[in-house]
Chain A
Amino acid sequence: MLKFILRRLLELIPVLLISITIVFFMVRLAPGGPFTAEKSFSAEAIARLNEHYGLDKPILAQYGNYLLNLLKGDLGPSFQYPSRSVNDIIKETFPVSLELGALAMLFALFVGLLAGIVASLKPNSIQDHVPMGLAMTGICMPSFVLGPLLILIFGLWLGWFNASGWELPSDRVLPVITLGAAYAAYISRLTRGSMLEVLPSDYIRTARAKGLSEANVIYMHTLKNALLPVVSYLGPATAGILTGSFVVETIFNIPGMGRMFVLAAFNRDYTLILGLVVFFALLVVVFNAVVDILLGLLNPKLRMHS
């Protein structure tokens, strides 16, 4: 297992290096710089700013400096927010995205598994069609439609929740549903499918024949095996939720990392874009590794092969 984790960590280095290099040069190719503004700064002011942020140095020197600082864990200052460093910004925004993502994932798992199990127990009945119909709608409906719809109903008409923001615990409800809905839908279909595959197998019949309760049969025996495709979906789903949360963060004006990333790109905040790319790359690789480990724990066959 240790060897496996180490190999994963080593793989991270080229991934990071390549993404940093590409992004470092690409953002500088984009027209406009961090200091172009509606009311132009004077040439002197721009020169001072470039000097302050080291943008007056040759580009390769800037690249070298960036890598050196990165080794020390320093992602540099933000050009857009002079009193904050990129590290500060990640420290502030990541917990927000993490909370949103984790809650959405929990919501997706809870609703998705429940709906999938319920549907699989009586296939092709109303008990199957209703949740699966909803799931189809969930998969098809983009978050930028679902979000405003939920705000309209629960925020404006019923007045139960705020329409935007991240101030109160209740502000989590609508964004979590919006972000989690599509994943819940997908998970429910996955669960239903694999449940239907597992349910007719011999060992389930044996479990029933032993006189185990139906709940025991479903939750202890069927679900454990039926979960495998769901767990392998969790890796990409988590990465998708974390990196895709910017739409939901924008709809609900949530101060998360996804929204910050988009703003940074619009503002040409070179160091902030790079810092977030590094951080996102790390996250995705780590989550994939975690999922691989989980799969190994759940499925002894995989463990033996690796």
Chain B
Amino acid sequence: MSTLKLMNRFSLLSILLLLAGCAKRETPVEIGNREQILHLGNLSEPKDLDPHIITGLSAYNVIAALHEGLVAEAPNTSSLRPAPGVAESWSVSKDRTVYTFTLRPDAKWSNGDPVTANDFIFSYKRMLSPALGSPYAYMLYILKNGRVYNHGELVDFSSVGVKAINVHTLELTLETPIPSFLSRLNHWSWFPVHPATILKHGLIDEMGTPWTRPENHVGNGAFTLESWRQNQAIVVEKNPQYWDADKVKLNEIHFYPIGDHMIEERSFRAGQLHVTGTVPVERVQYYKTRNPGLLHLDPYLRSYYYLLNINKPPLNDLRIRKALAMAIDREVLADFVTKSGEEPAYTFTPPHIGTYAPEKRFSTNIETARQLMVDAGFPNGEDFPKLTLLFHTSDLHTRIAEVIQQMWKDNLGIRIELENVEWKVYQARRENRDYDIARAEWVADYIDPSSFLDVWLTGGGNNHAGWSSPAYDQLIHEASLTADETKRMELFKQAETTLIDDQPIIPLLFLPSKSLVQPSVKGWNPSILDHHPYKYIYLEAQ
């Protein structure tokens, strides 16, 4: 080959390489690191950005940047002791039912108006007004007369336990002492809204007004709403009016509603996201071995379980329910099926809630399970009626269901049919109790056992098992009246024992929060509610 030809080839190759090199773009993450712009995967498109209307974590993630409650979350959000928010200090009455909050005078709305005690009264009135139909109104039932006002049995809001002592002093009176009250204030249902903005776009109790659109929105959080392009991105910018603006290091946060977990993970790899909302099961193993630094699997208050239709034979027989629960090897599920840091669950409430330690009432025991089946009249599963296991379309649910189906077949000799349906069909059938066994899960709204155990109260809206126990209701009620923390936890423990002993549900796993986090993100702490206060987060390129 002549030198000329070789040189030609070489130059062609170098031009190609140069082209490839030049074309490699600066990724959004790299630009973000430089300009303090955080790119977050936010799973689904929020329905609205009204703290009194929203229901899900993806909306909360945005609202947490736009609004601030009386108290705020500490950098370590798993702590039950919240940091000061709009209130700079507070005091509690001796009987622990009256809280007096002193609002900081420099707390402002993003349009410059001061945040006053009356703004909170307006917000709580709106939240509790029957016509608004807020799905989380019950969070405010702990306020004196909150429940009766929301049910329309009380018309005069001044009888509700909310009072402005002066512009900057707010007094909240509770029905009963609630030890976790301050941490509950971090729930979005307690966030204030700007009265003038609400009233400019509609009535106080009118839903679906355009006040949450970027051109209208007024908030009091560390960020302001800059743009909201549906199914594309929500952008919030640092709020110069925020009282603690000096501490806020991020200039912008971009929230991307990427519902498909694989697409989200690809976007992360392409340098478009600093943090993902989750990690696909298939990819967890890859990151564990190849890049463990990016993978965050943290404890989370999320319980995965199976509901049993206790009104339907043979599931109305406690022995059958117990046998089904005992014949599942949860260690196998966690270690070989889900493989993402799940913990085997023998109780409904996950660990990590303060001092609460529910008792393990049963364990995997194939022998006992078989004996129970014999006692119930189904030795080796003979003549056992065909049951179906209902779940909605998702890789994770299918895998778990298939393995459990096999375990029940091997261990008890019974056949279970799997029924994989669409999300809304699943929800409707679960609500109508049109199932034998159904997959379910529960995520806590605030850090307290009651956030889990209230579900199983008689007639509770989420009690899809239709289970009812006067003893259980009584224990939960007693706990709600008990101020002594140790005694209260003991009552919850007894209640949970009652629940698990009667086995209307089969606890399976406690799921962790899963995310991929770029190394440049600082201050992103593990959180059992998966909340990450943006005030303390900043970006630092390597």
Interface residue ranges, A against B (CB under 8 Å): 30-33, 36-49, 52, 77, 80-84, 89, 92-93, 148, 151, 155-156, 158-167, 170, 250-255, 259-260, 263, 266-268
Partner of A158, one of B20, B55, B422: B20
Interchain CA distance A182-B131 in the complex, whole Å: 52
Interchain CA distance A217-B232 in the complex, whole Å: 48
Q: Is the CB of A82 within 8 A of B25?
A: no
Interchain CA distance A136-B132 in the complex, whole Å: 57
Q: Is B314 an interface residue (CB 8 A)?
A: no
Q: Is the CB of B135 within 8 A of A42?
A: yes
Q: How many CB-defined contacts (below 8 Å) exist between A and B?
A: 154
Interchain CA distance A163-B256 in the complex, whole Å: 13
* Chain B residues, Cβ within 8 Å of A260: 230-231
Partner of B208, one of A82, A158, A268: A82
Residue of A nearest to B460 (CB): A40
Residue of B nearest to A160 (CB): B23
Bitwise interface map of B from 34 to 69 toward A, beta carbon under 8 Å scored 1, else 0: 000000000001011110010100000000000000
Q: Is the CB of A48 within 8 A of B25?
A: no
Q: Is the CB of A83 within 8 A of B233?
A: no
With A45-B135, A155-B266, A158-B20 as known contacts, state yes or no: A40 contacts B461, CB within 8 Å. yes
* Chain A residues, Cβ within 8 Å of B208: 52, 77, 82-83
* Chain A residues, Cβ within 8 Å of B23: 158, 160
With A82-B207, A170-B25, A259-B231 as known contacts, state yes or no: A40 contacts B431, CB within 8 Å. yes
Interchain CA distance A260-B259 in the complex, whole Å: 12
Q: Is the CB of A164 within 8 A of B213?
A: no
- Known A-B contacts: A31-B428, A37-B55, A254-B232. Give 7 more (CB < 8 A): A31-B424, A36-B431, A37-B427, A81-B48, A156-B269, A163-B270, A165-B267
* Chain B residues, Cβ within 8 Å of A253: 231, 256, 258, 260, 263, 267
Residue of B nearest to A161 (CB): B25
With A36-B424, A83-B213, A253-B267 as known contacts, state yes or no: A162 contacts B28, CB within 8 Å. yes
* Chain B residues, Cβ within 8 Å of A45: 133-135, 137
* Chain A residues, Cβ within 8 Å of B137: 42, 45
Q: Is B210 an interface residue (CB 8 A)?
A: yes
Q: Is the CB of B263 within 8 A of A39?
A: no
Interchain CA distance A160-B208 in the complex, whole Å: 41
- Measured CB to CB, the closest approach of chain A to B490, in angstroms, equals 28
* Chain B residues, Cβ within 8 Å of A77: 208
Q: Is B469 an interface residue (CB 8 A)?
A: no
Q: Is the CB of A32 within 8 A of B131?
A: no
Number of B residues with CB within 8 Å of any CB on chain A: 57
Q: Is the CB of A166 within 8 A of B461?
A: no
Interchain CA distance A115-B35 in the complex, whole Å: 45
- Measured CB to CB, the closest approach of chain A to B519, in angstroms, equals 18
Q: Is the CB of B461 within 8 A of A42?
A: yes
Bitwise interface map of B from 237 to 264 toward A, beta carbon under 8 Å scored 1, else 0: 0000000000000000000101010010
Q: 15 pairs across A/B with beta carbons < 8 Å?
A: A31-B424, A31-B425, A32-B427, A40-B464, A42-B137, A42-B461, A43-B461, A45-B137, A83-B212, A158-B20, A163-B263, A165-B233, A166-B232, A255-B231, A255-B232
- Measured CB to CB, the closest approach of chain B to A225, in angstroms, equals 40
Interchain CA distance A295-B47 in the complex, whole Å: 45
Q: Is the CB of A159 within 8 A of B25?
A: yes
Q: Is the CB of A251 within 8 A of B263?
A: yes
Interchain CA distance A160-B207 in the complex, whole Å: 44
Q: Is B8 an interface residue (CB 8 A)?
A: no
- Measured CB to CB, the closest approach of chain A to B306, in angstroms, equals 15
Residues from 114 to 168 in B contacting A, C-beta threshold 8 Å: 130-135, 137-138, 150-151
Q: Is the CB of A32 within 8 A of B209?
A: no
Q: Is B24 an interface residue (CB 8 A)?
A: yes
Residue of A nearest to B27 (CB): A159
* Chain A residues, Cβ within 8 Å of B518: none
Q: Is B362 an interface residue (CB 8 A)?
A: no
* Chain A residues, Cβ within 8 Å of B25: 159-161, 170
Q: Is B286 an interface residue (CB 8 A)?
A: no
Q: Is B78 an interface residue (CB 8 A)?
A: no
Interchain CA distance A31-B422 in the complex, whole Å: 10
Interchain CA distance A267-B429 in the complex, whole Å: 15
